Amino acid sequence: MNILALNSGSSSFKFGLYRVDSHGVEALLSDTVDGGTPEDAIARVAAALAQPGMPRPDAVGHRIVHGGPALRQHAVIDAAVLAQLEAAAAFAPLHMPTALTIIRDAQQRYPRRPQVACFDTCFHAGMPEVAGRLPIPRHLHAQGLQRYGFHGLSLESIVRQLGADLPQRMVIAHLGNGASVTAVRAGRSIDTSMGLTPTGGLIMGTRSGDLDPGVLLYLLREQGLDAPALQNLVDHASGLLGISGISGDMRELHAAEAAHAEARLAIEMYVMAVRKQVAAMVAVLGGIDRLVFTGGIGENDAAVRAEICRGLAWAGLDAQARGPSVQVLASQEDEEIARHTAALVAP
């Protein structure tokens, strides 16, 4: 089968056409679109697929960040699933409106092709209750307010790539514009840094990560910020951008850190936040056999990896982020989308 994988993230849009058969997954086309609108991204996909010799997709798979409490397994998109996705948009307002726009556009362009939703939350669906519950009243938990965890397709791809070399106790640091750290025991998620939404956990490019809830109450009560203003603050104006006042892009902060103390501070705070989360996951696992870095920063920023590991030698991790205890693997979300889509729609 030829599967079109559409992967809308918080800062970019990735797509690829993959041939999936009993031998595995082969990339026929792969590209990334930075910036622009969802409509621009879909137009880029259509232009790429119109190239001579390019086969038409048999099905379309979509990365969906959040399916809410009702959708915890990958699913073929029908009217009922689409309605549940629309209801879940409140859980991930930074991602879901774009994803829904792309789904509707893809349905119009490929009306006779099945569409599949592949959820980032699925990998964490079996997380133990002690990690999944939030310390809030039970009636709110019953409404779906719980810790879901994210970056699941990326994490699945790491587990798959390791295969027979999968360690018993592994911590995966997915570090990109969005970032999370996950404790994985025997290939299963048992705890993770993100919670109800992809805004929680680590400091990120423009997202705050975890905040004292009193900060939000103070801004609500004393400065009169309403819900849209608070959402803009925690999703678009905080994190590395908010600390540095320069950029949420780690590459730009590295370029500026020699001349700007706030850029250096942003990097140091990011490193410390990741280091603390890795240490927390080591405690959850009762030790660690391997730390895996993935994501744009995790895969490409050797200086940040080394700084994170420098404070983790006590856990048996090499201070220079190398050797058998530390590994760098590329996230292969799109290939996972292709696999899940083919499995769900194969005759």
The residues that bridge with 117 in the sheet, in sequence order, are 62, 75
Look at residues 137, 272, 268 and name the one whose alpha carbon lies nearest to residue 202.
Answer: 272
Q: Residue 336: which H helix or E strand, with range?
A: helix 333-345
Q: Which of 58, 120, 235, 249 is catalytic?
A: 120
Q: What is the DSSP-derived secondary structure letter of residue 55? A: P
Q: Which residues contact 129 (CB under 8 A, 6 or more apart)?
A: none
Sheet holding 179-185, edge to edge: 188-192, 179-185, 169-175, 290-294, 326-328
Q: Which residues contact 214 (CB under 8 A, 6 or more apart)?
A: none
User: Would you call 120 a catalytic residue per the annotation?
Assistant: yes
What are the strands, taking DSSP E only, across the chain?
2-8, 12-21, 24-34, 59-64, 75-76, 115-119, 169-175, 179-185, 188-192, 290-294, 326-328
How far apart are alpha carbons 176 and 314 in whole angstroms? 26
| Active-site annotation, residues | 120
